[in-house]
Amino acid sequence: MMIRALGLVLGLSLLAGCSALRGPQVPDVPEPLPSPELAAPPPPAGASSAEALDTTTPEQRAAALAAPAPAADAALGKVVVALGKVTEPGFWLRSALVSAARPGTVVTASGASVQVDLLPGEGAAQLSLAAFRALGLGLTDLPEVTVFGR
């Protein structure tokens, strides 16, 4: 009986240690955005078109497109961006180029620019649906953009 109890305690200890191997678990909650004027409410349930998923207002789109001259900002680098999570509203870029959330600007090869919230990320860079649409990019495009941070 004692050996069985000891085996159970040892087994449970090993299982508890396995969860530490996976690393810290991060909840799937968007980070707070540094620019409230670029944020938007989540899309309605059942939304399936780009128009329904992009809940930014015309005023927000105009403000995001009125990007300040990037010359005053620090160039962080160039990245190829993919369309990010379409249910995450607002104007944002998630990239390994930044380690903390901050405001910034994304500029395409054609010179089109949009203000975004720069969010830290890993792997491929992701640009929000609202930013893709504001820049006139095709939703399946993989454009290279230059990222500037403030």
What pLDDT score does 73 carry? 73
CA distance 101 to 80: 19
Note the Cα 33 to chain centre separation in Å.
Answer: 10
The pLDDT value recorded for residue 36 is 63
Q: Give the C-alpha distances (Å, rounded to integers) separating 137 from 33, 50, 97.
A: 23, 12, 21
Give strand pairing partners of 119.
Answer: 94
Report the predicted TM-score, pTM, of the whole model to 2 decimal places: 0.72
Give the pLDDT band (50/70/90) at residue 67.
Answer: low
Which residues face 120 on adjacent strands?
A: 95
Q: What pLDDT was estimated at residue 113? A: 93
Residue 92 corresponds to which amino acid? W
